[in-house]
Amino acid sequence: MTKEEIEAAFYERTIMPTLFGEIEEVHKKQQPIEKIAQLYIQRLNTIFANVTSEPLVMRNSKNNPIYHFAFASNNSTAVSIASDIIGSI
């Protein structure tokens, strides 16, 4: 991904008028963990014919996300099985 794509996905830019001209403010968007999971899914969809729609979020003992498990394949049966596994956990 390019720097611009990453910034557009995770940051919001606003122009604020001031007495001395305009100032650009940058704010982080909410729910970055969910956003990065959706970016993974979108990117995998550009390569593979079948991708799980929702990844499994693996968490540590303090309930912090460690990584996302997303399955991608050109075999629709394999993705169906992976989706069932992800949904059961």
* Stretch 8-16: mean pLDDT: 90
| Alpha-carbon span 89 to 85, nearest angstrom | 7
According to DSSP, the residues that pair with 51 across neighbouring strands are 72
Q: Residues of the chain with pLDDT > 90: what percent?
A: 19
Instruction: Give residue 31's pLDDT.
Output: 86
| Alpha-carbon span 84 to 89, nearest angstrom | 9
Beta-sheet pairing, 21-28 with 50-51:
unpaired
Instruction: Give residue 12's pLDDT.
Output: 92
Instruction: Give residue 61's pLDDT.
Output: 92
